[in-house]
Structure formats: structure tokens, C-alpha cells
Structure 1
Amino acid sequence: MRYLWLLLVVCLASTGHATEIYQYVDEHGNRIFTDKPPVHADAEKISLPEVNRTQMPSPAAPSGASQAPPADDGASAPPYRQLAIAGLPEHATIRANDGNIDVHVKIQPRLAMQHRLQLLVDGVPHGEPVRSILLRATNLDRGEHSIAVQVLSGDRVLQQSPAHQVTIQRTHINAPPRRRP
């Protein structure tokens, strides 16, 4: 009985490669693809290209203590091709009465699992490092600020974006109330 099931599975698995595909146009002008040629229409048999197959290289076996850790001399290429602040124009004036602004980070390739993003406001870390590409600067004072983002691996800075200069406008709470005309 076991061999019968094995034979059945092998036969069913091999039928996908032998399937022929046909295409025809129905009376409404729609192009139809099917595995059975229709009797009522002139179907064209489609030949599919050969499936690409690649041989995966076998991973090198670790040799234990004989393999030295990679030297980190600081001259290596940065891990991300693109690290920039997006959606925040340079020298923008932002009206934020609560002093909060959202900072979107554009990063290519995607942020690695062990890396975090740290928002810098005026060169000082602002908030906790996070894995999100949407950062929030909170309670910024009125005036001009420098906004940048760092990629961190633990406590080590891997890369930093160029700084953006923004001006925050907030309502002055000590301003006298306006007189009604």
C-alpha cells in the first residue's frame, strides 16, 4: 500500500511539467488561457520557455579559531547605499505649535535586523533608537534646527545622513490677545 501512494504522488507531481497551455479569444474579445483546447474556438498552443535553474553554492564550513574576524578599520564602504531624510525640504519652515514634527527616512537597502535608527536634533540624540523609518521629533523650540539620522549597531555609529536645516514656528504663549475690531 505504501508503494501505491508513492507511485500516485510521483505521477501527480510529474503532470505539472507535461501540461500544455492553449490560448484563444472568446466572443467578447477576452483572451482566455486554458489547459484543455476548446471545441468551439480555434486555440493556439503556447510553448513556454525552459525554467531557469541555478545551482546554489555550498556554504563554506567554519574553521573555528583559524578564521580571524574582519578588520574594522573604518575605511570599509557604508552598509547602506542611500540614507537620507525624505519629505522634509532643506531650509523648510514648519508650523508646529506643539513642536512635534515627523521625519521620514529613505534607506536602501532595507534596514538590517541588528541596526537601529537614531534621530539627531542639533547634533544631539533625540529619543531612543528605533527600527522604524518614521521618526518623531517632539517638543522642539522655535527657531532653526539641524535634523539628521544615524544608523546604529549596538552603540556604534555605522552611517549618518546629511543634516537638514528646518525652522520651527510655534505660537508665542506670552503674546497679548488680539483686540476685536
Structure 2
Amino acid sequence: MGRGFLLMLLLIALPAAAQIYKYTDANGNTAYSNQPPDGVKARPVELPPLNSVAPSTPPAPPAEANSREQSRNAYEVLELTGLPTTEALRANNGTFTVSVLIKPRLQGPHLFRLLLDEQPYGQPSNVPILQLVNIDRGEHSLAVQVINGESVVQQSPSVTFTVQRVHKP
């Protein structure tokens, strides 16, 4: 191994405040140590200060970048279809389906989640036909969200509709 390599190993292995000594050993070779050896003439080695770089935290992206990314991920069309808005929905047992119109199609990890009267309804799904079961008669609002985990990516406009059920005595 070359002397420069040994010096580099010593420099790397020793703490920053350590003193390095250079001397000639009994075999006539130049050697380096962090302590002057007994009975041998050793010279302190002047070391340049060590370069150090403090870890830096990347700056937060500007708010505009976040809004651009959200609009870039947004769906052009997200709405519910299959609900009558001018007349009552006739569902004798309160069970019916609604369809989701979405463009472009649903992305990878995204799922649909219904909001019935502004509350999450049923299990999230990647199927654009969603069923509602045993919905009480009367007026309700319904919207669909595209979610990614617990985050809402986008929400459709709410649709107000009335459920009409026949109650048998």
C-alpha cells in the first residue's frame, strides 16, 4: 500500500481534533501515528481543516405547485347519473343503484365513495355503479368522491332527490 493511502486511512479514522505525527520507523519507512513513539524523532503533521457540510432540508414547494398538481390530477368529469331530479325515485324497498360518469377513467389507487346526506356511505369501490340499500323515504342529497386512501382527490356536485316508498300495512 502506498504511504498516501495509509495517511488517508489515518485521517479518516481519527477524530477531527486528533494530532497526527510523522516519523521514520526502524526499517527506514515513513510512518504516521496519533501518538509520538518513544525514542523516535516525530514531527507533527499540519492538517488542513476538514470540510463539513451540514445536512439541509429541501425547501417546501410553493403553494402554486401544490394547486397545479391537484388540478393536473383532477378529473375533467365527475358526476352521478341515474337519479331523477324532477320526480320522486320509486324504490319500494329503498334499494337502487346510481352510476358515476368520470373522464378520464378512474386512476390506479383511486376509489369511489358515496356521500349520502354529506356522510360517507358504504364501502369504497372502483366500480362506477354503486348500490344504495334500504334508504328511507324523503329528500336526500348524494355525491361521489374520488379518494386515495383517506384523502379526497375530487368530489362531484351534490344531487338532491326524493325517495318514494310504498309502506304496506
Q: TM-score, normalised by structure 2?
A: 0.58
Could you tell me which residue of structure 1 aligns to residue 40 of structure 2?
A: none
SS in 2 for 1:98: coil
How many pairs are equivalent?
A: 110
Quote the Cα distance in structure 2 between the aligned partners of 1:114 and 1:70: 26
1:103-118 aligned within 5 A: 103-118=98-113
Q: Does residue 130 of structure 2 align to residue 158 of structure 1?
A: no
Structure-2 residue corresponding to 1:60: none
Gap regions ≥5 residues in structure 1: 1-65, 176-181
SS in 2 for 1:112: coil
For the pair 1:100 / 2:95, whether they are aligned, the reply is yes
Partner residue of 1:128 out of 115, 123, 128: 123
How far apart in 1 are the matches of 2:62 and 2:98?
Answer: 34
1:145 alignment partner in structure 2: 140
* 2:82 matches 1:87: yes
What is the distance in 2 between the residues matched to 1:70 and 1:129? 32
Opposite residue 154 of structure 1, the aligned amino acid is G
The Cα shift of 1:90 comes to: 2.5
Deviation beyond 4 Å, 4+ runs, structure 1: 68-72
Instruction: Please give the alpha-carbon distance, in whole angstroms, between the structure 2 residues aligned to 1:125 and 1:131.
Output: 15
1:17-44 per-position Cα deviation (integer Å, ceiling 9, x unaligned): xxxxxxxxxxxxxxxxxxxxxxxxxxxx
Question: C-alpha separation between the residues in 1 aligned to 2:139 and 2:130?
Answer: 19
CA distance in 2, matches of 1:107, 1:101: 20
> Conserved in 1, the CA contact under 8 Å of 2:83 and 2:89?
no
Q: Do the aligned partners of residues 110 and 91 (structure 1) sit closer, same or farther apart at CA in structure 2, a change above 3 Å counting?
A: same
3-state DSSP of counterpart to 1:171: coil
What letter matches 1:145 in structure 2? H
**Partners of 2:106 and 2:139 in 1: how far apart?**
29
Distance 1:104 1:152, change over 3 A: same
Deviations 1:97-144 (A, max 9, x none): 111110100000000120000011100111010000000111100100
Query: Per-residue deviation at 1:92?
Result: 3.7
Aligned to 1:167: 162
Please give the alpha-carbon distance, in whole angstroms, between the structure 2 residues aligned to 1:104 and 1:124. 18
Query: d(CA) in 2 for partners of 1:155 and 1:91?
Result: 34
Query: Secondary structure of the equivalent of 2:107?
Result: coil
